[in-house]
């Protein structure tokens, strides 16, 4: 599994009327040099991204990912992405994905800073690649450690410059949190506010089951709205369950009847242990949830 | 002023005994593609950096910058940089810098993620480029807006995975804070903790004058220790002033007898206005401070 595909995207303005974007998408060698050292994505993590799961060549929930890309762009004062162009790039990349699971990543960077001329406008690219086998996480589950995110519940509203609702390229803290979780013998982390509320995992959303109700923290600016979480909630409602968005206190985690971390590539991973304490796992429901997440979704 | 210079660095382990690093430094075209799309610096802001001021070809305070690079590497679980190699890279880049002021930037990234083989070890590069003319900021000063950083004073100690003492590439929030300051009619920002203490500017340190004492916020993990601030404190002490590190309440800003934001490239910028309120400026001392910062320093 060493295939990999990459496209450089020459961003067009959001209201460009064209419908054919072929000449704005350039296939490149994913292992060859493609970006200059002046890239602001690499110098300052100054850009946004999305990761889209692909199953048997079908990119999942493209519309929700593109809408979130546009939302992130607004929060970061980046030029609005042309969603038709990004959809064309996703479709071009998906056409290269073989049977089985893959991932497509979209990156929109603030651009290249040149000494003489200042900023030259955004740069963008799309990659497609195989994904690790997540069967064990989906069936046997994962251990999770809770970690303080340092921010209180009001920070996102008070301080929009913290970009808490944007999926930026500045993920060093998310990666450090995963390393800390591993040091604690866990597989993943759940961030808590400094005043004790549940936020999200570094690269996933949290869903709790309480009896027949499924709950996720309110996406009121402090966390990303999870595309997979939205999809799972739709499915749960179709199955007759009720779902809700709540301000979830940390103590509610230990009392949950079941818990999952859901994300676009690993899909639904049941949480078997929280800070060393065993949690109940609903294997049957988890299997059905992942079967749904592996079916084609738009 | 369109010159620009770049070196790719092939990092050697910290205890490599060699003394000649020429074959680990490759001169590249700074505007040509050099980095692959798999770069984790660009995908996740996962790496660290330093910016070194250069005056008439002399790189300033190289040792302090390299020590901070090593400190950031430890906080981010990156392989320890070989400081001799980085010094060689800085000297190579400095040799390209013309008379006047320039900047050298060092970047150490976690590396390139490849689909099949996982991580391949760190990547690194160094750039040298001309800098904007900062005369106006140094003499006429800058307007500053205070912005909530969302984190309380205890966060850095409680949650080292927030990487608050590391100079990471994840600077999207720093850049957003500068944009917010501009929206407020200011030139720069000063971050405050959510419990009302002074932290730092997005790309500079804060120094206050209170009578004959110069104060900067304690670098207890919540902020970067500023290399320029250290240098300014040494100089102030030589001039017979006293200096100190304190837990500075936000209210102390408005009461200051003078205030500066200091950084490696803009050097000492006196603050003329804080949140719209005029502050006293000591032009004579500021001029002497910048004259010192423009003299060769090791």
- A1 falls in which pLDDT band (50, 70, 90)? very low
Q: What integer pLDDT is reported at residue A222 of this predicted model?
A: 87
Report the share of chain A in percent with pLDDT over 70.
98
A147 in contact with B at a CB cutoff of 8 Å?
yes
Q: How far is Cα B7 from Cα B243, in angstroms, rounded to an integer?
A: 38
**Same-domain pairing of B70 and B202:** no
Tokens representing B142? 């800058």
- A213 falls in which pLDDT band (50, 70, 90)? very high
Residue B162 has its nearest CB partner, among A39, A129, A173, at: A173
Q: What integer pLDDT is reported at residue A120 of this predicted model?
A: 72
Q: What residues of chain A, 269 to 298, have a C-beta less than 8 Å from chain B?
A: none
Tokens representing A179? 């390393």
Chain B CA closest to residue A153: B150
The alpha carbon of residue B18 is apart from the nearest alpha carbon of chain A, in Å, by 27
pLDDT tens digits along A133-185: 999 999 999 999 999 999 999 999 999 999 999 999 999 999 999 999 999 99
**Same-domain pairing of B42 and B124:** yes
**Same-domain pairing of A152 and A260:** yes
User: Among residues B106, B131, B156, which one ends one of the domains?
Assistant: B131
Q: What integer pLDDT is reported at residue A220 of this predicted model?
A: 83
Q: For residue B51, what is the domain's CATH number?
A: 3.30.470.10
Q: For residue B190, what is the domain's CATH number?
A: 3.20.10.10
Check CB contact under 8 Å for B109 and A151: no
Strands A188-192 and A205-210: unpaired
> A185: Cβ–Cβ under 8 A, 6 or more apart, which residues?
A143, A145, A276
> B164: Cβ–Cβ under 8 A, 6 or more apart, which residues?
B151, B155, B156, B221, B222, B223
**Same-domain pairing of B66 and B161:** no
The alpha carbon of residue B208 is apart from the nearest alpha carbon of chain A, in Å, by 25
The residue ranking higher by pLDDT, B120 or B105, is B105
pLDDT tens digits along B29-83: 999 999 999 999 999 999 999 999 999 999 999 999 999 999 999 999 999 999 9
Q: What residues of chain B, 182 to 201, have a C-beta less than 8 Å from chain A?
A: 194
**Same-domain pairing of A127 and A141:** no
Give me the residue label for tokens 């100690």: B157
Chain A environment of B180 (Cβ under 8 Å): 160-161
pLDDT tens digits along B220-251: 878 999 999 999 999 999 999 999 999 999 99
**Same-domain pairing of A121 and A211:** no
| Side-chain-facing half-sphere of A224: CA atoms under 13 Å | 29
Is the separation of the CB atoms in B259 and B207 below 8 Å? yes
**Same-domain pairing of A287 and A182:** yes
Length of chain B: 298
Q: Does B267 reside within a domain?
A: yes
Taking residues B100-129, what's their average pLDDT? 87
- A208 falls in which pLDDT band (50, 70, 90)? very high
**Same-domain pairing of A45 and A76:** yes
User: Among residues A110, A131, A152, which one ends one of the domains?
Assistant: A131
The alpha carbon of residue A43 is apart from the nearest alpha carbon of chain B, in Å, by 6
- B1 falls in which pLDDT band (50, 70, 90)? very low
User: Among residues A131, A151, A171, which one ends one of the domains?
Assistant: A131
Q: What integer pLDDT is reported at residue B222 of this predicted model?
A: 87
**Same-domain pairing of B61 and B187:** no
Q: Does B208 reside within a domain?
A: yes
pLDDT tens digits along B161-186: 999 999 999 999 999 999 999 999 99
Q: What integer pLDDT is reported at residue A2 of this predicted model?
A: 72
Name the phi and psi angles at A77, rounded to 5: 55, 35
Taking residues A15-26, what's their average pLDDT? 96
Is the separation of the CB atoms in B76 and B48 below 8 Å? yes
Helix (H), strand (E) at residue A192 = strand A188-192
The alpha carbon of residue B79 is apart from the nearest alpha carbon of chain A, in Å, by 14
CA angle A230, A62, A204 (to 5 degrees): 45
Chain A environment of B49 (Cβ under 8 Å): 43
Q: What residues of chain B, 206 to 225, have a C-beta less than 8 Å from chain A?
A: none
Taking residues A5-30, what's their average pLDDT? 96
CA angle A221, A138, A63 (to 5 degrees): 45
**Same-domain pairing of A146 and A105:** no
The greatest distance separating any two alpha carbons of chain B, rounded to the nearest whole angstrom, comes to 62
Secondary structure, 3-state, B15-39: CCCCCCCHHHEEEECCCCCCECCCE
Q: Does B298 reside within a domain?
A: no
Residue B1 has its nearest CB partner, among A76, A115, A150, at: A115
Cα R_g (chain B), whole angstroms: 19
The alpha carbon of residue B271 is apart from the nearest alpha carbon of chain A, in Å, by 22
Whether B294 has a pLDDT exceeding 50, the answer reads: yes
pLDDT tens digits along A100-122: 999 999 999 999 986 555 567 89
pLDDT tens digits along B72-96: 999 999 999 999 999 999 999 999 9
Closest CA to A255 of A198, A191, A177: A198
pLDDT tens digits along A71-83: 999 999 999 999 9
pLDDT tens digits along B116-141: 555 678 999 999 999 999 999 999 99
A30 in contact with B at a CB cutoff of 8 Å?
yes
Q: Does B277 reside within a domain?
A: yes
**Same-domain pairing of B73 and B53:** yes
**Same-domain pairing of A88 and A181:** no
CA–chain centroid gap for B245, Å, is: 18
SS3 A139: helix
Tokens representing B179? 């944009």
How many domains in chain A?
2
Range of the domain at B79: 5-131
Taking residues B12-25, what's their average pLDDT? 96
Q: How far is Cα B109 from Cα A160, in angstroms, rounded to an integer?
A: 28
């Amino acid at each position: 599994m060493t295939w990999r595909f990459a496209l450089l995207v020459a961003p067009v303005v959001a209201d460009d009327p064209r419908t054919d974007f072929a000449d704005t998408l350039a296939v490149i060698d994913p292992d060859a040099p493609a970006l200059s050292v002046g890239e602001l994505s690499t110098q300052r993590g100054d850009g946004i991204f999305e990761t889209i799961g692909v199953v048997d060549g079908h990119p999942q929930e493209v519309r929700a990912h593109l809408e979130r890309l546009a939302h992130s762009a607004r929060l970061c004062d980046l030029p609005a992405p042309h969603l038709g162009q990004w959809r064309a790039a996703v479709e071009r990349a998906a056409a290269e994905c073989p049977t089985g699971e893959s991932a497509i990543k979209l990156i929109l960077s603030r651009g290249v800073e040149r000494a003489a001329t200042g900023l030259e406008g955004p740069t963008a690219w799309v990659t497609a690649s195989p994904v690790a086998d997540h069967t064990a996480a989906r069936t046997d589950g994962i251990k999770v450690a809770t970690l303080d995110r340092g921010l209180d519940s009001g920070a996102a509203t008070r301080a929009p410059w913290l970009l808490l609702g944007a999926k930026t390229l500045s993920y060093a803290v998310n990666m450090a949190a995963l390393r800390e979780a591993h040091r604690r013998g866990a597989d993943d982390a759940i961030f808590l506010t400094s005043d004790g509320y549940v936020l999200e995992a570094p690269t996933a959303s949290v869903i709790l089951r309480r009896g027949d109700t499924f709950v996720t923290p309110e996406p009121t600016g402090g966390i990303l709205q999870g595309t997979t979480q939205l999809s799972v909630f739709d499915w749960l409602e179709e199955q007759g369950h009720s779902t809700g968005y709540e301000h979830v206190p940390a103590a509610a985690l230990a009392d949950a009847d079941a818990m999952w971390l859901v994300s676009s590539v690993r899909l639904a991973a049941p949480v078997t242990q929280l800070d060393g304490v065993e949690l109940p796992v609903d294997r049957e429901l988890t299997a059905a949830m992942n079967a749904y997440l592996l079916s084609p979704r738009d």
